[in-house]
A and B are shown apart, each in its own frame.
Chain A
Amino acid sequence: MKPYLSIENLTQTFPDGAGGDLTVFENSSFGVEKGEFVVILGHSGCGKSTIMNILAGLAEPTSGVVVMDGQEVKGPSLDRGVVFQNYSLLPWLSTLKNVSFGVAARHPEWTKAQVAEHSTKFLAMVGLEGDVIRRKPSQLSGGMRQRVSIARAFANHPKLLLLDEPFGALDALTRGTIQDELLKIWGQMEQTVFMITHDIDEAILLADRILLMTNGPKARVAESVEITIPRPRYRTEIVEHPNYYAIRNHLVQFLGKRSKEMAGQQSEPGQSNRPTTVRIDKTDPQDDPEDKRPALRAVNS
């Protein structure tokens, strides 16, 4: 059976500015299950945002298709909510209006009071209550703005939530708080999430599965690493889980070394590049030692 969100043979080329073509990624295929939290990790410039814009329907791939819930993605839709890296709040609207205009677009049949109530509820879920929601985005801190943007996305109950480095511009403390809020709200809503980041710890904390991308050009999603740490996860506790450093080391190795080595490697022309599944679980005696050996060595050294 096909996964809930299925990316098939996605290829993206851009003119490289010198008359030639730049192939960002080629024949990339992967899937995301319903309710899954998938994080994609990769070096800057490997094409993560490009993939996300295609998933959002904001950009069209050179070739390949994206199918969600049995329907091909063609253009943007309220079914796919986006949280942009720079928040993209409308600066002339109040915080509440920034959320409620989206809610009103989703539910044209609702009364103003219903829209306002629903929006207020979701702002409260990310910790924005009272006077704050009447302020303009320019009067909010960066962290608060990103909260508004998350509330706006969740309030619309999209089938798929896309986040492009949502915490990239925030300081570490604020980032931590908002990550916790994101986890909490995700736990309540069983939302399918696809998120881009370049922060390994953030990825491990949040994800069910991490997709690893090789460096561009001709990047590909090379591995799909399962995060075998049970939920609920707390940042202070997961570091003590036996799998944490094993997984972390595997990711560090990949980003530090193998993403470069594997760059530009393709399978047979025309064949689709599916990621290899990697499962690292030191708590499971059945675990295949082949798969985790590099990670274990890294831990022990």
Chain B
Amino acid sequence: MYGLSLNVRAAILSCLILIVGLLVWEAAIPAQKAVGELTEYERLTGGGQPKAGVPPPSQVIVKAWEQLSDPFYDAGPNDKGIGIQIGYSIYRVLTGYFLAAAVAIPLGFLIGMSPIAYKALNPFIQVLRPISPLAWMPLALFIIGDSEASAIFVIFICSIWPMLINTAFGVAGVREDWVNVARTHELGALKTAFMVILPAAAPTIVTGMRISIGIAWLVIVAAEMLVGGTGIGYYVWNEWNNLDLTSVVFSILMIGVVGMFLDSMFAYLQRRVTYVE
């Protein structure tokens, strides 16, 4: 055991925890009786239907295998593959997110560079920021009309704040010495912004972007439960209505996996732009 590296030992421990956890889960769920063994009474009260109970992991794994081997099938509005549903969600998240970035990063630059812009805009930011993004939904649905665009708007509004605030904070905190280096080298405003201020503030900006993508992924599930139609949030809600808890558990896991994937992309970006002073 001691010959193994820390990482290998940690991985072994992770696997152990997973296996033990799954076994405990499996053991805790009483097995469903086969239909033949049901009493008359049980059959009459719907016991013959797949029972709406928390599924054991074995069932979830079977479900996952089934879904992931054909993730993109499309059999009508209420029966689409998990890949398609997640695809819709990611599409909405990224659209809203990048629209937010396109607004927040330049605006954050402005606020960070100009104390007067900071002071003037700060009260608005402070009031708008704590509003739950879903609170915008009715207004968005009314004004925009389109449910798809409303969902994107909700993502936009929830991802804008961390990026805006972090960009402003990062830009305002750029060391004056570095700006002086740019000035003594007669770099123009644009060159100073891209060669000095952006790389100097990048770690803070990317931290904001990472927080934003995390929030956006949290919010999309709720937003899709509200607007319906497509997406992983709708899928979860729909399976709940079908009392298919195996699918619910499976999609919860998928939400986690995709969220982790999104986050790790930004973690990678963060490592790329981080510098040691």
Contact = CB atoms under 8 A, between A and B. Distances in A.
**Chain B associates with chain A:** yes
B200 A105 contact: no
Contacts of A106: 185
B185 A78 contact: yes
Nearest to B273: A92
Interface in A65-86: 75-78, 80-82, 84, 86
A163 B269 CA distance: 37
Contact of B183 (A58, A93, A101, A156): A58
A73 to B, nearest CB: 12
A239 B219 CA distance: 75
A101 B184 CA distance: 12
Interface residues of A, number: 24
B200 A101 contact: no
Given A58-B180, A84-B177, A101-B195, A138 B277 contact: yes
Interface residues of B, number: 20
A256 interface: no
Contacts of B187: 105
Nearest to B177: A88
B196 interface: yes
A88 B180 contact: yes
Contacts of A82: 180, 184
Contact of B185 (A58, A75, A102): A102
Interface SS majority for chain A? loop
Contacts of B175: 88
Contacts of B195: 101
Contacts of B276: 91, 136, 138
Nearest to B180: A58
Contacts, number: 57
Nearest to B188: A105
Contacts of B91: none
Interface in B182-206: 183-187, 191, 195-196, 199-200, 202
B98 to A, nearest CB: 24
Contacts of B196: 90
B186 to A, nearest CB: 5
Given A88-B177, A90-B196, A92-B199, A76 B277 contact: no
Contacts of B181: 84, 88, 90
Contact of B199 (A58, A86, A88, A90): A90
Interface in B141-183: 175, 177-178, 180-181, 183
A56 interface: yes
Nearest to A98: B181
B184 A76 contact: yes
A60 to B, nearest CB: 13
B41 interface: no
Given A58-B184, A78-B186, A105-B187, 16 more contacts: A56-B184, A58-B183, A76-B184, A76-B186, A81-B184, A82-B180, A88-B177, A88-B178, A90-B178, A90-B181, A90-B199, A91-B277, A92-B202, A101-B185, A101-B195, A138-B276
Interface of A: 56-58, 75-78, 80-82, 84, 86, 88, 90-93, 101-102, 105-106, 136, 138, 156
